[in-house]
Amino acid sequence: MAKVAINLSTGALQQEEVIVGIDLGTTNSLVAYIHPEDKKPIAINDQGRGTIVPSVVHFTQQGETIVGNEAKEYLTTDPANTIYSVKRLLGKSYKDLGEHKDYFGYKIIDDDSEGLVKIRVKDKFYSPIELSAEILKELRERAEHSLKTPVNRAVITVPAYFNDSQRQATRDAGKLAGLEVLRIVNEPTAAALAYGIGIDPNEEKTVAVYDLGGGTFDISILSIHQGIFEVLSTNGDTYLGGDDFDRAIINHWIQNNELIADTVNQDKHLSQELRLKAEEAKKTLSSQEVYTSTINGKLDCHLERHTFETLIAPIVARTMESCKQAMADAKMKPEQIDAVIMVGGSTRVPMVFEAVSEFFGKPANNSLNPDEVVALGAAIQADILAGNRKDILLLDVTPLTLGIETMGGLMDPIIPRNSKIPTKAGRQYTTSVDGQVNMKISVYQGERDVVKENRKLAEFDLKGIPAMPAGFPKVDVNFILNADGILKVEAIELRSGVRQEVEVKPQYGLTDQQVEQMLMDSITHAKEDVATRMQIEARTAAEQMLYQVERFVEKNGQHLTEEEINLTRENMQKLKDVLAANGDKDAIYAAVDRLEEQTSPFAERVMQISIKQAMAGKKIE
């Protein structure tokens, strides 16, 4: 039964609710939907303003917000009140920004305990989520206006390397914009879908998605089989993109006109003019050989494609290095890649297209508009979720293992990498010390055996475990990973029946570079540190053994002879010495065995004694 609704604001009748696909980009955003007649995805172009909405929010003197091209005009003239690249700040702390703090022309502050950044505009503080919501609201309004129907549900894309907190922040931004976010989808997955790859569940393909935007670059290698999109590797640079091309052109012009860079930078109007001209030149050179213009008829802004290519060659070369690395991490050779997909406005530069095609040994796919391809794919995903394509079931997998820290700083995997999501898994743990009432649960993501090599996602204390001997409490830790790749962790102590509500607070403090590095390492070093794990396990076993024996001697010393106690102490000391000398696992286990062999008859004896005592106690005289 088709639903019919009336749009109260436009009075129009509508057949079915549309679910839109949104590409919330660092530089540009756009919204797309599936056309009800030809069933093809199409980017929304409201009132002929174009499909692309620059991801810029400007606060006017009156305190109103404007978004898009109009806002972009204030970038140089009113930088303090004009927010760009807010996507870079989603889910980030001030510390995360590190050396990139100066990148932003507006005021970023760090005022709360969680350390999540806020942006100060005049006397108000905004979170990146609120600012992203402004962009989403604009997209939503444009969609409603153009389609003449309310838009309440959406699929939003994020980079493949976005972590849980960044995905959650994106989802929250959607909520704030009045959108129910049905799914968060990886940008490369959306791009592949737009090219129709992965729609047939019987298809098996390996795809490279090269995405060069305004300020970010990433390359993802996807393996697509049975409708599952698996991220084999990702690489890139979150501070590299088309803006660097523009900057290279500006510097070239400054030199050619014998200007002083500092003087130009101080002249806001001149720098704005230069920026606009540089971008115009770059775009022109994507289809023409020469660009000629001036600023105020004086400053010469001339550029030939050949010169432009010399200027950007080092930048393009850096992206190719990332491709090489991503391929190595995915353990793939160029000939194993079935399709190369070009995403992002900067892939329009012919030199970029050629370099990528040459690297992969085949012409890259650029038949779809590279600015729109991600939004188009998001619209396809939205259509699938709307149930309009019943034959397709799209699944995603989690790219990295999720687990918790156990004794000795080891990673205990709970949801292995490449698990289909949504998924749920759990494991039971216990305490290691008598009377332990708190248990620290640290959640990590990564393939390394030692948690310190992995990425910490969250940490919390399960408090209020009733005091019991070590090993008695039963703590169930459950991981629930939803379809967006967002993780919920819960911990319950079963014996006491006390179910404690625990809140997972994501921990920040990692830069994008580190996250990318981790994704790389997870694949390169997945099996490398087995030796480390075994070593730590041996140490942990030894420490546990020492703790147990110590306790035993304290409690039951009266049943042991002095000689036995001395021998026990001697063997304990030997084990401690091995540990102190950083002995290898074999030496540790040898010492553990010796101690165990020597002390194991004790437990038996104490047991016998207590049974006898118990029997004696029952005798009625």
User: Is the separation of the CB atoms in 573 and 591 below 8 Å?
Assistant: no
d(CA 216, CA 212): 6
Query: CA angle 70-76-81, nearest 5°?
Result: 70
Residue whose C-alpha is closest to residue 399's, from 234, 197, 167 = 234
Cα four-point dihedral sign 195, 199, 203, 209: positive
**Least Å distance between CB 421 and ligand ADP?**
25
**Least Å distance between CB 41 and ligand ADP?**
17
Q: Give which of Mg ion, ligand ADP, none residue 223 binds (C-beta under 5 to 8 Å, depending on kind).
A: none
**Least Å distance between CB 348 and ligand ADP?**
4
Contact flags string 161-200 toward Mg ion, x per CB under 5 A: ----------------------------------------
Nearer to ligand ADP, 27 or 571 (CB): 27
Nearer to ligand ADP, 194 or 404 (CB): 194
Q: Give which of ligand ADP, Mg ion, none residue 282 binds (C-beta under 5 to 8 Å, depending on kind).
A: ligand ADP
How many other CB atoms are found less than 10 A from the CB of residue 581?
9
User: Is the separation of the CB atoms in 277 and 293 below 8 Å?
Assistant: yes
Q: Which residues contact 239 (CB under 8 A, 6 or more apart)?
A: 100, 103, 215, 216
Q: Give which of ligand ADP, Mg ion, none residue 348 binds (C-beta under 5 to 8 Å, depending on kind).
A: ligand ADP
d(CA 211, CA 236): 9
Nearer to ligand ADP, 241 or 583 (CB): 241
Nearer to ligand ADP, 348 or 448 (CB): 348
d(CA 217, CA 238): 6
Beta strands in 39-137 (DSSP E): 41-43, 53-54, 57-59, 65-67, 82-83, 107-109, 118-121, 124-126
d(CA 568, CA 408): 25
Does residue 159 bind Mg ion (CB under 5 A)?
no
User: Is the separation of the CB atoms in 41 and 374 below 8 Å?
Assistant: no
d(CA 616, CA 132): 76
Q: Which residues contact 413 (CB under 8 A, 6 or more apart)?
A: 401, 402, 403
Q: Give which of Mg ion, ligand ADP, none residue 403 binds (C-beta under 5 to 8 Å, depending on kind).
A: none
Residue whose C-alpha is closest to residue 256's, from 264, 267, 268 = 264
- Give contact residues for ligand ADP (rule: CB under 6 A): 25-28, 213-216, 241-243, 279, 282-283, 286, 344-346, 348-349, 371
**Least Å distance between CB 464 and ligand ADP?**
47
d(CA 308, CA 285): 8
How many angstroms separate the first and last alpha carbons of the chain? 86
**Least Å distance between CB 470 and ligand ADP?**
53
Q: Which residues, 24 to 43, sit near Mg ion by CB under 5 A?
A: 25
CA gyration radius, the chain: 30
Residue linked to tokens 């990433």? 218
**Least Å distance between CB 484 and ligand ADP?**
20
d(CA 159, CA 356): 20
Nearer to ligand ADP, 355 or 468 (CB): 355
User: Is the separation of the CB atoms in 216 and 235 below 8 Å?
Assistant: no
List Cα–Cα distances, 287 to 348, 506, 584, in angstroms.
Answer: 9, 46, 64
Contact flags string 205-244 toward Mg ion, x per CB under 5 A: --------x-------------------------------
Nearer to ligand ADP, 325 or 346 (CB): 346
Nearer to Mg ion, 25 or 41 (CB): 25
Q: Which stretch binds Mg ion (CB under 5 A): 19-27, 263-271, 274-282, 427-435?
A: 19-27
Nearer to ligand ADP, 26 or 568 (CB): 26
**Least Å distance between CB 211 and Mg ion?**
6
**Least Å distance between CB 419 and Mg ion?**
27
Which are the catalytic amino acids? 23, 87, 187, 211
Query: Which residue's Cβ has the minimum distance to Mg ion?
Result: 25
Q: Give which of ligand ADP, Mg ion, none residue 286 binds (C-beta under 5 to 8 Å, depending on kind).
A: ligand ADP
Which residue ranges make up the site for Mg ion (CB under 5 A)?
25, 213
